[in-house]
Amino acid sequence: MDIAKLREAHPDHWMRAAAIRTLTLDAVAGANSGHSGMPMGMADVATVLFGKHLKFDAAAPTWPDRDRFILSAGHGSMLIYSLLYLTGYKEMPIEEIKNFRQMGAKTAGHPENFLLDGVETTTGPLGQGISNAVGFAMAEEALRARFGKKLQDHYTYVMAGDGCLMEGVSQEAIALAGRQKLGKLVVFWDNNNITIDGTVDIADRTNQPMRFKAAGWHVQEIDGHDPEQIDAAIEAAKKSKKPSMIACKTHIALGHAAQDTSKGHGALTDADQLAAAKAAYGVDWGPYQVAADVKAQWEEIGARGREERTAWEARFAEQSERRQAEFNRVFAGEAPKKLSATIKAFKKQISEEQPKMATRASSQKVLEVVNPIMPETIGGSADLTGSNNTLTGDMGVFDETNRKGRYVYYGIREHGMAAAMNGMALHGGIRPYAGTFFCFTDYARPAMRLSALMQIPVTYVMTHDSIGLGEDGPTHQPVEHLAICRATPNTMTIRPADTVETAEAWEIALTSQKTPSVLVLTRQGVPTLRTEHKNTNLVSKGAYVLAEAEGKREAILIATGSEVAIAMEARKMLQDNGIGTRVVSMPCMELFAEQDEAYRRKVLPAGPVRVGVEAAVRAGGWDRWLLGERGREAKQAFVGMTRFGASAPAGELYEKFGITADNIVAQVKALLG
């Protein structure tokens, strides 16, 4: 690897790439923390990509028709930060580079989408970025079909390393992309043969080009430090109708003493070695400095897309006002005005008809009225369409033959599905929802966490939510999953009791702008409990009084979802015994916790004994409502699960685990002494 030769061959390119390398070295050394090697390895690719191909305008970071660049190898955050600084993004002055990894900096250790417009998605956990990218590319296809090439026509570029490619979710992503023929998706594989523990070989010998070809990708192999090869490969990738993978042979920490070693992956802080690297690059720039002419070249690159962006804005202004408004509406993630009335009308009808149905079926009924008025939804399922009830009549299947389709068969890929939904939501213009069995949120967990962290309103339609699913048994029966979702910050976990609550849940999910929702739905039928129509969205209060006590209020039953009906049964029995019993439906603990104390006291006054009922573990947040909120230890009980489930018909399981009206009654009586 002769650096002098590289410099000579393409001197201007070399200097531009050197700027990424030196800023990276300076920033990581300055923070005494971070990952130097990856940006140093991929600087040439980044320089060609941004310099010649990426459609973007540093002055308009949120231009809806920009190409998307995703750094899946998120630890290499200094790569994107350097690029944003060099090309002149206002949000990235040199002070931010100097503040890398410090409190309050936008230049966080791993790139965070909510801190910087120039960061398309939060990465760090490996495999996520490449999987989000599939969603970005799907969104572009869908929006191009909807709004036309003049308004949506761009590429999605990803940089991924060996780590991302070893993560199983990447297989889900590449198989989905291959099947969907996402021809405008381009992945650069940072093929440096190095991971933290040593060479890639100690853990992996996968033939990546063959693997990608097996998944239906177009594959090229190039020298990742040769700008001509990089340029030609990108051209070819753009032309391909298949998603493209460009395997870039690179040297991690190029030019540094730690080049091609595991050490090079991490923080290179030695001052002498840093100086030697800069000398090897042929630059004499001080810390955080870049030669003025090099900076100027980069800023020109940052302005390369200005003309195209301006032309786009002109085209946009030529659209009808209606079209502009619709485009802006969906990109802003705003629900249509009609939604509120549609939900209200639906609720009213349900309160009249009072059907008994599984809430997964309720969900489908809601989607049947929602999808026609919200053309921005894209739904799907991880091969459980008939079980999750996520497909409605008019949607059409989204694939290479029908980009106007709005239903995605994700296959048995819960994690890839969630990550793709993240990508679609981040892209803008799409409101995604998709389903699997609630127990299999386990597979999607890393992506679900990121939905919350990234503050995006993805909707998870999670059915078969408890022992109520019956004979499939403990591997399928969630018991701790409500606890998991509720413990995750910035997540609304909503478990509706009937069809009316399901409609209200959907309204909350569809109007959310910064919070993902997990809708937790039954397999089995439940009766309509909200028989008295109310325009107000009661689920949005998190919990409310469903049935008041008759006579002196001695007991409060708090229940969620399918257990609310059981609580109502118990209430009847208790009232027949002269025990005044209030039933509180608590579909969303997070929303209830956000209400002011006065409301919470109204719903859960001190005094009456309390029994919580939910076919899940108590750790799902119950202590707060039973012991706290002026509950008292001696005067409360929880009726629910304490262990994994079992394989048997649902009714027998509810009996076996004591989640019955009889048991609730017995608990109340015991507490009353």
Residues 94-113 contacting a copy of itself, CB under 8 A: 101-105, 108-110, 112
Identity of the residue, 489 or 673, whose beta carbon is nearer to a copy of itself in the bound complex? 489
The reply on whether position 171 binds a copy of itself by CB under 8 A is yes
Instruction: Choose one: 465-473, 518-526, 535-543, 661-669; the region binding a copy of itself (CB under 8 A).
Output: 465-473
In angstroms, give the least distance from the CB of 213 to a copy of itself.
Answer: 7
Active site residue: 414, 501, 504, 563, which one? 414
Q: What are the DSSP E strand ranges found in 107-216?
A: 156-161, 185-191, 194-195, 198-199
Instruction: Choose one: 17-25, 161-169, 281-289, 302-310; the region binding a copy of itself (CB under 8 A).
Output: 161-169
In angstroms, give the least distance from the CB of 548 to a copy of itself.
Answer: 24
The reply on whether position 468 binds a copy of itself by CB under 8 A is no
Q: How many residues does the chain have?
A: 673
Identity of the residue, 262 or 319, whose beta carbon is nearer to a copy of itself in the bound complex? 262
Residue 305 assigned ligand-binding role = no
* Burial class for 633, CB neighbours closer than 10 Å (0-12, 13-18, 19+): exposed
Identity of the residue, 62 or 207, whose beta carbon is nearer to a copy of itself in the bound complex? 207
The reply on whether position 470 binds a copy of itself by CB under 8 A is yes
- Give the containing element (helix H, strand E) for 14: helix 11-31
Identity of the residue, 156 or 171, whose beta carbon is nearer to a copy of itself in the bound complex? 171
Residue 360 assigned ligand-binding role = yes
Residues 69-88 that bind a copy of itself (CB under 8 A): 74
* Cα–Cα distance for residue pair 146/141, rounded to 1 Å: 9
Q: Which residue has the tokens 């849940």?
A: 505
In angstroms, give the least distance from the CB of 443 to a copy of itself.
Answer: 5
* Cα–Cα distance for residue pair 419/82, rounded to 1 Å: 26
In angstroms, give the least distance from the CB of 360 to a copy of itself.
Answer: 15
In angstroms, give the least distance from the CB of 234 to a copy of itself.
Answer: 24
H-helix segments, 184-337: 208-214, 227-239, 271-281, 292-303, 306-318, 321-332
Residue 72 assigned ligand-binding role = no
The reply on whether position 340 binds a copy of itself by CB under 8 A is no
* Cα–Cα distance for residue pair 90/86, rounded to 1 Å: 10
In angstroms, give the least distance from the CB of 339 to a copy of itself.
Answer: 28
Residues 302-321 that bind a copy of itself (CB under 8 A): none
Question: For the chain, what is the largest distance between any 2 Cα atoms, rounded to a whole number of angstroms?
Answer: 93
* Cβ(245)–Cβ(63) below 8 Å: no
The reply on whether position 10 binds a copy of itself by CB under 8 A is no
CA 428 from chain center: how many Å? 13
Identity of the residue, 355 or 474, whose beta carbon is nearer to a copy of itself in the bound complex? 474
* Cα–Cα distance for residue pair 543/496, rounded to 1 Å: 11
Residues 601-640 that bind a copy of itself (CB under 8 A): 617, 619-621, 623-624, 627-631, 633
Residue 35 assigned ligand-binding role = yes
The reply on whether position 166 binds a copy of itself by CB under 8 A is yes
* Cα–Cα distance for residue pair 248/258, rounded to 1 Å: 19
In angstroms, give the least distance from the CB of 324 to a copy of itself.
Answer: 36
Q: What are the DSSP E strand ranges found in 334-399?
A: 357-358, 377-381
* Cβ(613)–Cβ(558) below 8 Å: yes
Three-state SS at 189: strand
* Cα–Cα distance for residue pair 624/452, rounded to 1 Å: 22
Has 507 been annotated as catalytic? Answer: no
**Closest of 506, 280, 480, 540 to residue 377, by C-alpha:** 506
Identity of the residue, 473 or 580, whose beta carbon is nearer to a copy of itself in the bound complex? 473
The annotation places the binding site for Mg(2+) at 162, 192, 194
- Catalytic (active-site) positions: 414
The annotation places the binding site for substrate at 35, 265, 360, 387, 464, 472, 476, 523
The annotation places the binding site for thiamine diphosphate at 75, 124-126, 163, 192, 265, 440
